[in-house]
Amino acid sequence: MNRPKRMLVENIAWAREIAHADPQFFPRLAQGQSPKVLWIGCSDSRVPAESITNANPGDLFVHRNIANLFCPSDDNTMSVLEYAVRVLEVDHVIVCGHYGCGGVRASLLPLSNDLPHVNRRIAPLCALGERHRKELDTFTELDARANRLAELNVLEQVRLLRQAPVIADRAAAPLVHGWIFGLHDGLIKVLASGYDQGCAREALPSANADTRETVESAGF
């Protein structure tokens, strides 16, 4: 069985299972959406927002792109933010990056002439890497440099989002959080909590910190 056909078969099984467990699930879903969270994440197939947070359809309003970037000049990104904040009136905006991000890693390597659109997309990442070159150069391994830049990238997107007029000018502005997902253990680490209204911090929890302690220390 080819992959698309397998996906359709799995869809039928999924829909039947959900409807059997909760006959009103799909009728409720069809009535409209009222998510409380806008999720800005990476397009990487290993980081599906609903799966890694155990969320249901309708819980998250999701925008994904290479390296979870917020670009104020991009109508695609801004239209999602605008709709989420002004129409859906979400309470939280979460930027979630991940370790082992290919887009972040690519920004630290020579750019490929075969990928002009990707090059333009990750240009802000290249600039961010240059700004933090002194710190990044302290890491001898490329993977370690890329993972640290992935953290710095999340913090940078949090900063940009908090400054965006769509958020800053709203009377009850949504809280902006910065998270990063570990492919190696499946856990999310809090880098910046929206409950701390100060600047996105760069003093990060230890990579080995217990998740519960990390969440509690971030004010959740």
Q: Which amino acids are annotated as binding site for Zn(2+), given as ranges?
A: 42, 44, 98, 101
Residue 98 known to be catalytic: yes
Q: Which of 98, 105, 148, 162 is catalytic?
A: 98
Alpha carbons 24 and 26: distance in angstroms, whole number: 6
Alpha carbons 22 and 178: distance in angstroms, whole number: 33
Q: Which of 6, 16, 28, 46 is catalytic?
A: 46
Alpha carbons 192 and 155: distance in angstroms, whole number: 7
Q: Which of 101, 105, 162, 177 is catalytic?
A: 101
Q: Which helix (H) or strand (E) holds 64?
A: strand 60-65
> How many residues in total does the chain contain?
220
Q: In Å, how far are 38, 57, 58, 130, 197 from 62, measured between CA atoms?
A: 6, 11, 10, 29, 23
Residue 126 known to be catalytic: no
Instruction: Summarize the annotated binding site as residue ranges.
Output: 42, 44, 98, 101
The 3-state DSSP class for residue 65 equals: strand
Sort 155 into a burial class: Cβ within 10 Å, 0-12 / 13-18 / 19+: buried
Q: For the chain, first and last CA: distance in Å?
A: 45
Residue 71 known to be catalytic: no
Active site residues: 42, 44, 46, 98, 101
